Structure 1
Amino acid sequence: MRVLVTGHHGYIGTVLTELLRAAGHEVTGLDTDLFADCLLGPAPTGVPALRVDLRDVRPEHCAGFDAVCHLAALCNDPVGNLNPELTYEINDWATIRLAGAAKAAGVTRFLFSSSCSLYGSGADDRPLTETAPFAPVTPYGESKIGAERSLTALADDDFSPVFLRNATAYGYSPRLRGDLVVNDLTGHALLTGEVRLRSDGSAWRPLVHVQDIAGAFLALLTAPRDRVHARAYNIGSTSENYLIRQVAELVSDVVVGSRITYLGAASADLRNYRVDCDRIATEVPGFRPRWTVRKGIEELVEAYQRYGLTLADLTGERYQRLHRLRALRAAGRLDSGLRWTDGPTVSGGLRWAEGVR
């Protein structure tokens, strides 16, 4: 298939692009490259790329593709809280603009990277299925709900959206995110000897490895249309729901000599939910998660050591998405709408990624 991956230079997109190519698909990326140079380890092989802001996508940018894997967004709750209106503009409204352009161009399958954050605060300890009521506690979660609802309204015989409600991601990607809980706790344990909890650790959270998220996209790309059309799937494993303090204990166990600490007057996290991932296990047999949190922690330790991760990078602008955006704003390289002020035009046409001709 010819596949357009938005956000291909992000944390998940970098892994997904490689997996799609390995499976024989023809991949083009679409990104404004806010995080393209935020690398840990060597840069992956490039792919043809459209350097286009998501808010500027037109049907001609989507022409010739069989499917869109839509990852591009302002990701995670702290970044979403930076400017709620901008979060809705990019994560919700620009998603619908993209979907409308894709539909007009004849794209038939649209895989949307949603989030379990839309569940927000679960009513009780039972794992939530895809039919559970939404209870978002952040603009990020609300923006995913709005996008899912609008995409559902676009669904018809010619345009088939599918919603991947990803659990909280973790694991090594060449474009690392240090602001994800497992990645953060593991990095601090390795570099400082402390597994630093910013909450009291009492909240539940479903967790999924970045490679398993990519595997779900790959499986849903070619799953029978009548089975997945306009369906939502919790992405992960039902067995991989953890209390945050359990994650800290696993990190402390893997990183020998580290100890759990609490920063300041640690309080409960409002985001507290478990999810049931049985629907995708039943309906999409081509997807089988391969990772557990413990295996992921071991992988991260090996990658951090191999590539020489430093504490300054882990906590600074290279791997903290919010810090990165603030630094680019402070340097005058991004305007208040998070558009480049000093780079090539981002509303133009096809450009080739480095190393590709």
Structure 2
Amino acid sequence: MKVLVTGGCGYKGHVLIPKLLDRGHEVIAFDTQWFGNYLQSHPKLSIVKGDVCKADDVPLDGVDCIIHLSSIANDPCGDLNPKLTWEVSALATMQLADKAKKLGIKRFIYASSGSVYGVKEEPQVTEDLELNPISEYNKTKMVAERVLLSYKDDMVVQIVRPATVCGYSPRMRLDVSVNMLTMQALSKGKITVFGGKQVRPNIHIDDITDLYLFLMDHPEITGVYNAGFENISILDIANMVTKYIPVPVEVTESNDPRSYRVNSDKLLATGFKPKKKVEDAIREIIEAFKKGTIKDEDRFYNLKWMQQTVFQGSPA
């Protein structure tokens, strides 16, 4: 199969694309490369630098399946430039789906977000609950979902609402909870937790990327699926880290009391089984740090890096 991965040079793309290549697929990684490119060359891999907002620049010739990962990722980054966030995460998705339909592409896998639900009081957040997105990022994800579902009679549409992803990737992210707390312990010798009682759902990066492969293998599985398997408080994650790096945990007040728990029973009923846990992610990050594979660098924090580069010219 020829697969286009938008956002292919991102956090998830760097783990997903080698798996696609190992399975014998031909892959196009399409990305602005704001955060660089660490993909290894491969005879079946084409890396194309480009902007998903420019529909005519997206290479779709001969493509059988689109895995659409491109977006302005996370709430603070989305708020930097709301207009750009809507263009990248909503309008570009609409244009891509429309072009895919016209070209007869029959497979479209979309990476939405578990944050589309907003703040929920329900102990288990399931796919049938009303969506109340709060931030620009959440709102664009909801709109993109609605757009794609309108094409369900033209192509196989598979929408994933991932929990917070954790674990090592060559294009690392240190602004997501598990990764951030682990790096704090490694580089600062202490962990600072704001509030701590907030519960967040999590999924290992190997499991979310395996899920995209699973969906490719199962075109009969369509619609929207939550993907998060460990609902853990921020403080409990910090304490988990200290099992491996014995550092103090400082708890300070937080103005963000939001807690939410994602229920993924619908996904588990399809036969998909996660293989890794948060604790695996913590151990893998520690190992990569000790080997010198990753360091605590600005380029691994989306907001900080975008402020320094995308909105302030190019990095020196």
Normalised to the residue count of structure 2, the TM-score between the two structures is 0.94
Pick the aligned partner of 1:144 from 141, 145, 157.
141
1:51–1:329 distance in 2 versus 1, CA, 3 Å: closer
AA of the residue aligned to 1:123:
E
Say if 1:5 and 1:30, in contact at 8 Å, map to a contact too: yes
Pick the aligned partner of 1:245 from 224, 230, 235.
235
Cα deviation for residue 179 of structure 1 reads 0.6
Pick the aligned partner of 1:297 from 282, 294, 306.
282
What corresponds to 1:186 in structure 2?
A: 182
Q: What is the alpha-carbon distance in structure 2 between the residues aligned to residue 208 and residue 44 of structure 1?
A: 25
AA of the residue aligned to 2:289:
Y
Matches within 5 A, 1:95-174: 95-124=93-122, 126-156=123-153, 158-174=154-170
Say if 2:165 and 2:205, in contact at 8 Å, map to a contact too: yes
Pick the aligned partner of 2:307 from 326, 330, 351.
326
AA of the residue aligned to 1:72:
S
Root mean square deviation of aligned Cα: 1.8
Q: What is the alpha-carbon distance in structure 1 between the residues aligned to residue 5 and residue 86 of structure 2?
A: 20
What corresponds to 1:352 in structure 2?
A: none
The Cα offsets for residues 179-230 of structure 1, whole Å up to 9 and x where unpaired, read as 1111110001011221121x201211110011111000000012033xx23x
What corresponds to 1:27 in structure 2?
A: 27
Cα deviation for residue 137 of structure 1 reads 2.2
Say if 2:195 and 2:257, in contact at 8 Å, map to a contact too: no
1:81–1:59 distance in 2 versus 1, CA, 3 Å: closer
What corresponds to 2:211 in structure 1?
A: 216
Normalised to the residue count of structure 1, the TM-score between the two structures is 0.83
Q: What is the alpha-carbon distance in structure 2 between the residues aligned to residue 270 and residue 160 of structure 1?
A: 38
AA of the residue aligned to 1:332:
G
What corresponds to 1:259 in structure 2?
A: 248
Q: Does 1:278 align with 2:265?
A: yes
Cα deviation for residue 20 of structure 1 reads 0.9
AA of the residue aligned to 2:244:
V
What corresponds to 1:343 in structure 2?
A: none
The Cα offsets for residues 16-44 of structure 1, whole Å up to 9 and x where unpaired, read as 1011111222111111111124x6xxx53
Matches within 5 A, 1:223-238: 223-225=218-220, 228-229=221-222, 231-237=223-229
What corresponds to 1:69 in structure 2?
A: 67
1:241–1:105 distance in 2 versus 1, CA, 3 Å: same
Cα deviation for residue 51 of structure 1 reads 2.2
Say if 1:12 and 1:214, in contact at 8 Å, map to a contact too: yes
Which segment drifts farther, 147-156 or 58-67?
58-67
AA of the residue aligned to 2:54:
D
**Identity rate, percent:** 35
Q: What is the alpha-carbon distance in structure 1 between the residues aligned to residue 219 and residue 248 of structure 2?
A: 48
Cα deviation for residue 55 of structure 1 reads 0.6
Cα deviation for residue 82 of structure 1 reads 1.0
AA of the residue aligned to 1:140:
Y
Cα deviation for residue 331 of structure 1 reads 4.6
Say if 2:156 and 2:219, in contact at 8 Å, map to a contact too: no
Cα deviation for residue 89 of structure 1 reads 1.4
Structure 2 residue runs of 5 or longer lacking an equivalent are none
Q: What is the alpha-carbon distance in structure 2 between the residues aligned to residue 18 and residue 106 of structure 1?
A: 26
Say if 1:137 and 1:270, in contact at 8 Å, map to a contact too: no
Cα deviation for residue 160 of structure 1 reads 1.8
Question: SS of 2:150's equivalent?
Answer: helix
AA of the residue aligned to 1:162:
Q
Question: Alignment length, in residue pairs?
Answer: 313
